[in-house]
Amino acid sequence: MKFVPLILASFLLHLAAGAHAANEKPNLILILADDLGWADLPLYGNTFHETPALDRLAAGGIRFSQFYAGAVCSPTRSNIQSGQNEARFGITQHIPGHRRPFAKLIDPVVPLQLPLEVETYAEKLGEAGYATGHLGKWHLGGEGFGPLEQGWSTAFECQKHEVPAPATGGAGPKRTAAFLTEKAVEFIETNRDRPFVLQVSHYAVHIPLSTTPALLEKYRKKASMPGYPSRPEYAGLLEELDQSVAGIVEAIDRLGLSERTLVVFVSDNGGLEHGQSGSLYTSNKPLRGEKGMLYEGGIRVPAIMSWPGVIPAGTVCATPAVTTDLYPTFLELAGVTPSQNQPLDGVSLVSLWRGPSTPLPRDTLCWHLPHYHHSTPASAIRKGDWKLIEFFEIGGKELFNLAIDPGESNNLALTEPAKVVELAAALAEWRDKVGARLPVPNPDFKPDRATELGKGGRDN
């Protein structure tokens, strides 16, 4: 993909009305939610949850209605860092994945880390003079394969919803969202006089759910949303995440950095509707499915981009985009040329700021989830408004027209056989191109034990 820095600079100058010089590199902030579903935000129709900071962020920028991620955590995190589809690395399941020793198929073993030879967007931007900071959940490898080894000069890793006292410098345990906000503001203040890129990877709203006593009480008193789980712990945890967004944006405003800072908010996969205990955590309706599936509820996520004076306020974009696109978007804004040593599967989204219906230089997206998670091993392809899901256990295929059926309730495979053949061939060709690893028949298949997890296995 070719980048046109001069045209981009002219565009930014025009929109920002001289707010910053053409050669000034913008600051880039990515705020990543964990397991936040497409239907969880008030922006997407939820009436139980409250996210005033995200509402303001979208009102001042662009909200995507058809933005995609991977079906689970590590795949999305790997494609964000690399700009490549996760199938190229085999990170098609959360690390370390889980085993179902008696299922019909043996799914591929998931690598334990993102390869160090991958040039992350932090490495590319760091070479261009950016300060680089990664805070929160990494989930792309342990010791020797963390953010510090992948171009992030400042890094703090944590999971769960509370940071224990030793990690807070003796200040006592703190709520993770609040502590990450403190670390983010500190990073921004330290690097205010140079371009910086900051990724804040929250654990909210991942299970097990918890929130502060005040927020729990607030939502226990609130009327539920008809047809929606309306869990106080979930709503409170989401508001903690929203408060973090507010704290980061307020710091940018206070330091006078707003007009040269892009803020991106996105989730790593669709919402987790059902837990192993049968608990109902959230609902992705009107979309079908949940985290760990290739139906829309598993891969379509909320996404917002805001840059005052550059991105037109109150824009809604229905052009399909994906987390893999963040890498080339960031590089283009920084005037950095992608490496010729590795493929680039994403495309820059900057053109959508000029016109949200502007066609991107691709019309096809693909996913590969050859594992047992909340569904059986499968691949999927979306071309235009058509989407095909291929299930490997039985070789079954399901076809949907998302323009008229975003809830994927009407399988058109029998009535549109030519389209099935076309998309299945394109999907197979894509799998070959990226070296996607496939499941194989299991000689130890036992139907009555097929759902059992192997030793040490767990769903994520």
- CA dist 14 and 8 (Å) reads 10
Confidence of residue 98 (pLDDT cuts 50, 70, 90): confident
- pLDDT band for position 205 (cuts 50, 70, 90): very high
pTM for the whole structure: 0.93
What are the structural domains, with CATH classification, of the chain? 5-102+109-362 (3.40.720.10), 368-449 (3.30.1120.10)
Report the distance separating Cα 63 and Cα 42, nearest Å: 12
Give 361-383 pLDDT, tens digit per residue: 999 999 999 999 889 999 999 99
Q: What confidence category does residue 274 fall into, taking pLDDT thresholds of 50, 70 and 90? A: confident
Asked if 285 and 293 count as a contact pair (C-beta separation under 8 A), the reply is no
Give the number of other CB atoms < 10 A from CB of residue 337: 13
As a whole number, mean pLDDT of residues 236-244 equals 98
Q: Given the structure tokens 């079908």, which residue do they identify?
A: 288
175 φ, ψ (degrees, to nearest 5): -65, 135
Q: Which helix (H) or strand (E) covers residue 367, if one does?
A: strand 364-369
Provide the token pair at 134: 């990664």
Give the SS3 label for residue 123.
helix
Confidence of residue 455 (pLDDT cuts 50, 70, 90): low
pLDDT tens string 4-18: 343 444 444 344 433
- pLDDT band for 168, please (50, 70, 90 cuts): confident
**pLDDT tens digits, 278-337:** 789 999 999 999 999 999 999 999 999 999 999 999 999 999 999 999 999 999 999 999
- My answer on whether omega of the bond before 96 falls inside 30° of 0, hence cis, is yes
Q: Residues 260, 359, 341, 138: what is their CA dihedral angle, to the nearest 10 degrees?
A: 60
